[in-house]
Amino acid sequence: MSWVILIVSGVLEAVWATALGKSEGFTKLWPTVIFGVTLVASMGGLAWAMRDISTGTAYAVWVGIGASLTVAYAMITGDEAFSLVKMLLILGLVGCVVGLKLVGHE
């Protein structure tokens, strides 16, 4: 169950990171609200998962999921330019996250 919570928390990290950018320095209400709610939920889930998953592994997986989804979303929406190299690097990051799960002893 800790791994499911960690994955959901990583997805929420991508949501709050995107909302933070859309809030324009906390000047827009709804992106700011979405940022706050998802930040708390994401951090809470990370903390919960770290009861059973080592800190280093949990944090790396959380950041990897959040970063890869944030960049992928930005490329899909056109906020960031798409490139094959970026896509391959994101896939490499995802592969490393999966690898951490496969070699983990939790």
Q: Tell me the whole-structure pTM to 2 decimals.
A: 0.90
- Look at residues 47, 50, 60, 46 and name the one whose alpha carbon lies nearest to residue 9: 46
pLDDT in tens, 2-31: 999 999 999 999 999 999 999 999 999 999
Number of H helices, E strands in the chain: 4, 0
What gap in Å lies between CA 82 and CA 72, rounded to an integer?
Answer: 9
CA angle 1, 20, 85 (to 5 degrees): 80
Q: Where are the domains of the chain?
A: 2-103
pLDDT for 101: 83
What does the chain come to in residues? 106
